[in-house]
Structure 1
Amino acid sequence: MAIDFPPDLIALERSAWAQIQAGRLTVDTARAVHEVIAAFAEQAGLSRYDVEMGLKKAVRHAEAEAA
Protein backbone atom coordinates (compact mmCIF):
# COMPACT_ATOMS: atom_id res chain seq x y z
CA MET A 1 0.00 0.00 0.00
CA ALA A 2 1.42 3.36 -1.05
CA ILE A 3 0.75 6.17 1.39
CA ASP A 4 1.25 9.81 0.46
CA PHE A 5 3.04 11.13 3.54
CA PRO A 6 3.09 14.89 4.17
CA PRO A 7 6.57 16.48 4.05
CA ASP A 8 6.51 17.41 7.75
CA LEU A 9 5.93 13.77 8.74
CA ILE A 10 8.79 12.62 6.51
CA ALA A 11 11.06 15.29 8.02
CA LEU A 12 10.15 14.28 11.58
CA GLU A 13 10.87 10.60 10.88
CA ARG A 14 14.18 11.53 9.20
CA SER A 15 15.15 13.49 12.30
CA ALA A 16 14.24 10.57 14.57
CA TRP A 17 16.13 8.12 12.33
CA ALA A 18 19.24 10.33 12.44
CA GLN A 19 18.99 10.43 16.23
CA ILE A 20 18.62 6.63 16.37
CA GLN A 21 21.68 6.16 14.19
CA ALA A 22 23.67 8.55 16.38
CA GLY A 23 22.50 6.75 19.53
CA ARG A 24 20.76 9.81 20.92
CA LEU A 25 17.03 9.39 20.30
CA THR A 26 15.14 11.22 23.04
CA VAL A 27 11.84 10.24 24.58
CA ASP A 28 10.43 13.58 23.44
CA THR A 29 11.33 12.91 19.80
CA ALA A 30 9.99 9.35 19.93
CA ARG A 31 6.75 10.58 21.50
CA ALA A 32 6.37 13.35 18.91
CA VAL A 33 6.80 10.89 16.04
CA HIS A 34 4.30 8.48 17.59
CA GLU A 35 1.72 11.21 18.15
CA VAL A 36 2.01 12.59 14.61
CA ILE A 37 1.80 9.10 13.12
CA ALA A 38 -1.30 8.30 15.19
CA ALA A 39 -2.98 11.57 14.21
CA PHE A 40 -2.16 11.10 10.52
CA ALA A 41 -3.41 7.51 10.58
CA GLU A 42 -6.68 8.51 12.23
CA GLN A 43 -7.23 11.39 9.81
CA ALA A 44 -6.44 9.20 6.79
CA GLY A 45 -8.55 6.29 8.07
CA LEU A 46 -5.53 3.98 8.10
CA SER A 47 -4.02 1.62 10.63
CA ARG A 48 -1.39 3.30 12.78
CA TYR A 49 0.79 0.23 12.31
CA ASP A 50 0.54 0.45 8.50
CA VAL A 51 1.36 4.14 8.58
CA GLU A 52 4.35 3.63 10.88
CA MET A 53 5.77 0.74 8.85
CA GLY A 54 5.23 2.60 5.57
CA LEU A 55 6.89 5.71 6.93
CA LYS A 56 9.89 3.80 8.22
CA LYS A 57 10.24 2.06 4.87
CA ALA A 58 9.98 5.38 3.00
CA VAL A 59 12.64 7.04 5.17
CA ARG A 60 15.00 4.23 6.11
CA HIS A 61 14.98 2.27 2.88
CA ALA A 62 14.57 5.01 0.28
CA GLU A 63 18.19 4.69 -0.85
CA ALA A 64 17.83 0.94 -1.47
CA GLU A 65 14.67 1.45 -3.53
CA ALA A 66 16.28 4.24 -5.58
CA ALA A 67 19.23 2.04 -6.53
Structure 2
Amino acid sequence: MPIDIPEELILLERAAVAEQRKALAEPYTEEAWAQWREAAAAFQAAVTAHAEAAGVSRYELEMAVKQAVLHAEPEGGGRSSASPFGAVLGARREAITLFRGQFGPGD
Protein backbone atom coordinates (compact mmCIF):
# COMPACT_ATOMS: atom_id res chain seq x y z
CA MET A 1 0.00 0.00 0.00
CA PRO A 2 1.57 3.33 -1.03
CA ILE A 3 2.25 5.92 1.63
CA ASP A 4 0.37 9.21 1.39
CA ILE A 5 3.02 11.94 1.16
CA PRO A 6 1.93 15.41 2.28
CA GLU A 7 3.03 18.26 0.02
CA GLU A 8 4.64 19.91 3.05
CA LEU A 9 7.18 17.07 3.28
CA ILE A 10 7.98 17.34 -0.42
CA LEU A 11 8.59 21.07 -0.06
CA LEU A 12 10.75 20.65 3.05
CA GLU A 13 12.91 17.97 1.40
CA ARG A 14 13.28 20.10 -1.74
CA ALA A 15 14.43 22.98 0.46
CA ALA A 16 16.96 20.71 2.22
CA VAL A 17 18.30 19.44 -1.11
CA ALA A 18 18.59 23.01 -2.42
CA GLU A 19 20.53 24.08 0.69
CA GLN A 20 22.76 21.03 0.34
CA ARG A 21 23.54 21.91 -3.27
CA LYS A 22 24.39 25.48 -2.28
CA ALA A 23 26.60 24.35 0.60
CA LEU A 24 28.50 21.83 -1.52
CA ALA A 25 28.91 24.14 -4.49
CA GLU A 26 31.18 26.52 -2.61
CA PRO A 27 34.16 26.16 -0.28
CA TYR A 28 33.08 25.24 3.25
CA THR A 29 31.59 27.96 5.40
CA GLU A 30 29.81 27.43 8.70
CA GLU A 31 26.98 29.70 7.55
CA ALA A 32 26.25 27.72 4.38
CA TRP A 33 26.36 24.40 6.18
CA ALA A 34 24.19 25.77 9.00
CA GLN A 35 21.47 26.58 6.46
CA TRP A 36 21.70 23.01 5.13
CA ARG A 37 21.58 21.50 8.64
CA GLU A 38 18.58 23.64 9.60
CA ALA A 39 16.66 22.70 6.46
CA ALA A 40 17.47 19.00 6.95
CA ALA A 41 16.45 19.17 10.62
CA ALA A 42 13.11 20.78 9.71
CA PHE A 43 12.45 17.98 7.22
CA GLN A 44 13.41 15.26 9.71
CA ALA A 45 11.17 16.74 12.43
CA ALA A 46 8.23 16.97 10.03
CA VAL A 47 8.73 13.36 8.88
CA THR A 48 8.77 12.15 12.48
CA ALA A 49 5.64 14.11 13.38
CA HIS A 50 3.70 12.99 10.31
CA ALA A 51 4.72 9.34 10.70
CA GLU A 52 3.57 9.32 14.33
CA ALA A 53 0.29 11.08 13.51
CA ALA A 54 -0.47 8.83 10.52
CA GLY A 55 0.71 5.62 12.20
CA VAL A 56 3.15 4.77 9.42
CA SER A 57 6.77 3.71 9.44
CA ARG A 58 8.99 6.76 9.79
CA TYR A 59 11.67 5.10 7.66
CA GLU A 60 9.25 4.16 4.88
CA LEU A 61 7.77 7.67 4.87
CA GLU A 62 11.19 9.30 4.67
CA MET A 63 12.29 7.00 1.85
CA ALA A 64 9.04 7.64 -0.04
CA VAL A 65 9.58 11.40 0.20
CA LYS A 66 13.22 11.15 -0.88
CA GLN A 67 12.21 8.90 -3.79
CA ALA A 68 9.57 11.42 -4.85
CA VAL A 69 11.96 14.38 -4.61
CA LEU A 70 15.24 12.93 -5.84
CA HIS A 71 13.90 10.61 -8.50
CA ALA A 72 10.81 12.46 -9.67
CA GLU A 73 9.85 12.08 -13.27
CA PRO A 74 10.15 15.34 -15.20
CA GLU A 75 7.03 17.03 -16.47
CA GLY A 76 5.84 15.36 -19.62
CA GLY A 77 6.30 11.86 -18.19
CA GLY A 78 9.77 11.10 -19.54
CA ARG A 79 12.57 10.01 -17.25
CA SER A 80 15.47 12.34 -16.67
CA SER A 81 18.99 10.98 -16.55
CA ALA A 82 20.17 14.04 -14.63
CA SER A 83 21.03 13.27 -11.03
CA PRO A 84 20.34 15.94 -8.41
CA PHE A 85 23.88 15.35 -7.23
CA GLY A 86 25.45 15.41 -10.70
CA ALA A 87 27.19 18.75 -10.10
CA VAL A 88 28.68 17.47 -6.85
CA LEU A 89 29.90 14.28 -8.48
CA GLY A 90 31.32 16.25 -11.40
CA ALA A 91 33.20 18.56 -9.03
CA ARG A 92 34.56 15.56 -7.14
CA ARG A 93 35.76 13.94 -10.37
CA GLU A 94 37.41 17.19 -11.41
CA ALA A 95 39.20 17.49 -8.05
CA ILE A 96 40.45 13.91 -8.29
CA THR A 97 41.69 14.51 -11.83
CA LEU A 98 43.51 17.67 -10.75
CA PHE A 99 45.02 15.88 -7.76
CA ARG A 100 46.25 13.00 -9.89
CA GLY A 101 47.65 15.40 -12.47
CA GLN A 102 49.51 17.38 -9.82
CA PHE A 103 50.92 14.48 -7.83
CA GLY A 104 50.84 11.61 -10.33
CA PRO A 105 50.21 7.96 -9.50
CA GLY A 106 53.69 7.23 -8.15
CA ASP A 107 54.38 10.41 -6.18
TM-score, normalization: structure 1?
A: 0.81
Bigger relative CO (Cα 8 Å, ≥ 6 apart): 1
Query: Residue type of the partner of 2:40?
Result: A
Backbone CA RMSD of aligned residues: 1.8
User: What amino acid is aligned across from residue 67 of structure 2 in structure 1?
Assistant: K
- Number of paired residues? 66
TM superposition outliers: structure 1 runs of 4+ over 2 Å = 21-26
1:30 to 40, 43, 58: 40
Instruction: Please report the TM-score for the alignment, with normalisation by the length of structure 2.
Output: 0.54
The sequence identity of aligned pairs, in percent, is 44
1:40 matches 2:40: no
Paired letter, 2:70: R
Question: Please, which runs of 5 or more residues in structure 1 have no aligned partner?
Answer: none
CA deviation map 1:6-64 (0-9, x unaligned): 11111111111112223255221111111000001111111111111110001110127
Secondary structure (helix, strand or coil) at the match of 2:5 reads coil
**1:20 is matched with which residue?**
20
Q: Unaligned regions of 5+ residues in structure 2, if any? A: 25-31, 79-107
* Structure with more helix by fraction: 1
